[in-house]
Structure 1
Amino acid sequence: MRSRRPLTVRGLAALLTGVLLVIAANLLAAPVLLYVAVLLFALLVLGILVVHVPRRGGSVTRRISTDLLTVGETSQVAVRFDLRALRVPFGTWRDELPDAVTGDAEGDFPTDNGTSIRYTMTGVRRGVWAVGPLSLRTIDPFGFAQRLQDFGDTRTVTVVPEVVPLAPLTGDTGAAGGTAHTASARLGQGSDNLSPRLYVSGDSMRRIHWRATAHRGNLMVRQEEEESSPDAIVVLDRASRRWAPHSDEVDPGFEAAVSACASTALHLVQEGYSVDVRDSAGSTLGTLRGQEDDRDSLLVALAMVTPQGETRDLVSLFDGTPPGPLVMITGRIDEEDAALLRHGGAGTPILLAAEPLPGALEAAAATGWYTGELDDVSAAWDHAIAGHVAPGGGHVPR
């Protein structure tokens, strides 16, 4: 926070000099020193009047190039500042930034009123933060007096977790695009991917396939058939006992887990899966069905997530049907907890742990989990889908 005192360092020095000159004038009986002191005091008063008397108002409008700022990503910020005041002799501006972002958000105030001020900011810590207000520091022509004013409201910026590119699921860990997942019978009314057939007496008129009817010249209906249902579940273990005690300090393990949750969920939906993202208590953090809004909603939810609550049995999160891939992301886990962790027959159970205790990953692998340690999200994923226990660990036979 910049100082709001009325005098600059130069002004304070001038004030002190004037006081010393008054003292010296009396001690040395030198009136000329008193005249110089009076001149300094007059300049100080004039400078204060120049910067503090004029009434100033203004409006601030901010435009950020990205709605959601990812950790490590740089965004452009354009600030439109319309100042209603007499000409500012000299001024500097500064946009107040939270600790969660970095940027060079200050500079000399432009002489042309109404021009845009631009700077860049980089996301450092996920969360929802306030940017602003914009402050204007004006200085008189002599550099003696200063005035600091705030203009405009704050603008909220959402910093979402980093999304890391991941390798595709291959081999015995599942096929991309949902070709090795559970299947379910669906009627498919309104789905153009079902095969049409000729209309027969007794078929419901609601099942008429109008596009095929117009194309073939005969009345066609939608054929019921079994179609692939590529489902995946990503679970973020938020149980308090898995993570460092709550404090103002950032927990690197939990941040890596949140990044892994976002990365795996978005990666799986790109491979053709329908992805449900839940926490360990069963609460839904997001559902991904290939829509951009789904992606943004998940990232916003993960931007604000914190450790809390307890862990439910994973099988109870399946709604009765085991998914294809099941990704469990946890923190501190010991060998006993890992041995009791059930995947319920999921096609591809993957366990990523930020702080596994000795023997924990081996115990999970023995029950069918593909495991990896979250030192690095991409490396942990690579080791898990390759069937490794952890970086430096041995290969687990499948």
Structure 2
Amino acid sequence: MKRRPLTGRGWGCLLSGILLMIAANIVSARPLLYLGVLLVALPLICLMIVRVPRRRGEVRRQISTDLLAVGETSRVQVRFDLWAFGVPNGIWRDTLPTAVRGEATGAYPQDALRYDLEGVRRGISVLGPLMLRTTDPFGLAQREQAFGDTRTITVIPQTVALDPLPTKVGAAGGTAQTRSTRIGQGADNLIPRPYAAGDSRRRIHWRATAHRGSLMVRQEEEEASPDAMVVLDRAADRWDRPGDEPDPLFESAVTLCASVALRLAQDGYSVDVVDSSGNALGALRGHEEDRDDLMIALAMVAPRGETHDLRSVVGSTPPGPLVLITGRLPDEDAEKLSTAGAAAPLLFAAEASDDAMSTVREHGWRPAPLPSSAVDLADTWASVLPFQAVPHV
């Protein structure tokens, strides 16, 4: 909001001076004329004092967390270097986007400019510029000026703690169902095999050689890698049309998607997160940067595109756990919804009839309605687990 050059006091002084000058001419009172001229000139002089001096400044912001989650609080430290004739007194205010909220204002000058931010809406937004409003000593004129560059801030989805998958699901969905070609690291993943021409003698397994009576060498064993997949159905016809306010059901779906992916990764799965068109949103392979990449992708996700057949999304190798998060699920779509051969198919639908839920249950899914509040996600997740969940370690 652009501020007027004069404060309320300044406008009152100016109007009072004009009225006194008019009254002085009517009643022919020279003292009233002098007083009116003074009251008119004073705010104009104060306006020149405030607005004429040239000022330039540099702003640097430091945020305590690189990625701010919805509902999380972060501290912002602001370094504001101002070059001006004299040190003006005023009020500083940092411009906040709608994705965050906080008391980003205070008196100037002061030693340190700091405030707390709370994430309220996921997405990538712009923080800044810093605004400085100064007034003259009489409080008649004011000046508001922007300083410094803006800073990008990323608000990622909120995550909730979920119960781990039962160990039986991990065995069935992992080593028994899928096998990855990733090579294991460390001596525990080495098995002996007979020596072949060209093998380095440094790879001789002396203990196995002594046991077998013939040369044996170390060979890396392919690790059995349990794979899991999380599918976020963000097709445009599944959700309400995006408006000024976010759809609480879609926000709950994104929160559940992030929470499930992290839960499966903690359970030891190699997790792929895709949308209903097969586009990759992220993959968790045990690296910290994988988590950040997934959260940034989910911070920007929105309803769009169309839904494809789930079997084409999953591919020829079915995962162990398969988690499908969708919006509206018509009865005719429920009839065609396959589990794609997954060992543990779990489904969450924001809007589905009892017949649709019964149909997908007959197809092998364990379905549950998607709640609109993140508070209920943990209980909803626990209700679809195929077996008794093991307690958190």
| TM-score, normalisation: structure 1 | 0.88
Q: Does 1:188 align with 2:180?
A: no
* C-alpha contact (below 8 Å) 2:326/2:350 kept by paired residues: yes
Determine if contact 2:170/2:226 at 8 Å carries over to the other structure: no
Does the 8 A contact of 1:370 with 1:387 survive in 2?
Answer: no
In 2, Cα distance between equivalents of 1:176 and 1:331: 30
In the TM superposition, what is the alpha-carbon distance from 1:206 to its structure 2 partner? 9.8
Structure-2 residue corresponding to 1:83: 82
Q: Check if 1:200 corresponds to 2:199.
A: no
- SS of 2:237's equivalent in the other structure is helix
**Any conservation in 2 of the 1:240–1:307 contact (CA below 8 Å)?**
yes
RMSD across aligned C-alpha pairs, in angstroms? 2.7
1:338 maps to 2:334:
yes
TM-superposed deviation, 1:255: 0.9
CA distance in 2: counterparts of 1:334 and 1:207, whole angstroms: 63
Aligned equivalent of 2:211: none
Which residue identity does 1:382 align to in structure 2? A
Q: 1:151 aligns with which of 147, 150, 160?
A: 147
Map of 1:33 onto structure 2: 32
Q: Structure 1: where are the runs of 5+ without partners?
A: 389-398
Query: Does residue 24 of the first structure (1) align with residue 23 of the second (2)?
Result: yes
Q: Which amino acid in the other structure matches residue 254 of structure 1?
A: F
Q: Does 1:365 align with 2:361?
A: yes
SS at match of 2:274: strand
| Distance change (3 Å), C-alpha of 1:296 and 1:340 | same
Structure 1 residue 24: Cα displacement: 1.7
Contact 2:172 2:343 in 1 (8 A): no
Aligned residue identity for 2:183: G
Contact 1:186 1:225 survives alignment (8 Å): no
1:118-143: per-residue Cα shift (whole Å, max 9, x none)?
A: 00111111110001111111100000
Report sequence identity in percent: 53
Question: Which amino acid in 2 is paired with 1:21?
Answer: L
Q: Residues of 2 paired with 1:66 and 1:244: CA distance?
A: 32
Matched residue, 2:377: 377
Report the Cα offset of residue 46 of structure 1. Answer: 2.3
Q: Deviations over 1:169-226 (max 9, x none)?
A: 1266x1389766524274837654313437734363399389999xxxx997333545
Match of 1:119 in 2: 115
| Farther off after superposition, 135-144 or 360-369 | 360-369
- How far off is 1:385 after superposition? 1.2
Greater relative contact order: 1 or 2 (C-alpha under 8 angstroms, separation 6 or more)?
2
Change (3 A) 1:227 1:9: same
Cα pair 2:91 2:107 within 8 Å, conserved: yes
Partner of 1:394: none
Query: Which runs of 5 or more structure 2 residues have no equivalent in the other structure?
Result: 209-213, 389-393
Measure the CA separation in 1 of the matches of 2:112 and 2:21: 47
Task: Look up the equivalent residue of 1:175 and give its one-letter code.
Answer: G
Pairwise CA distance, 1:290: 1.1
Cα deviation, residue 331, structure 1: 0.3
Q: Which residue of 2 is the match for residue 58 of structure 1? A: 57
Structure 2 residue matching 1:193: 3-state secondary structure: helix
8 Å Cα contact 1:17-1:37 kept in structure 2: yes
Q: Report the counterpart of residue 15 of structure 1 in structure 2.
A: 14
CA distance in 2: counterparts of 1:353 and 1:185, whole angstroms: 31
Conserved? CA contact 1:168–1:176, under 8 Å: no
Distance apart, 1:377 and its partner CA = 2.1
1:4 match: secondary structure: coil
- Partner of 1:228, secondary structure, is coil
Corresponding residue of 2:302: 306
Residue type at the aligned position of 1:52: R
Distance 1:303 1:207, change over 3 A: farther
The number of residues matched between the two structures is 379
Contact persistence 1:176–1:272 (CA under 8 A): no
Q: Distance in 2 between matches of 1:272 and 1:42?
A: 76
Instruction: Report the counterpart of residue 175 of structure 1 in structure 2.
Output: 170
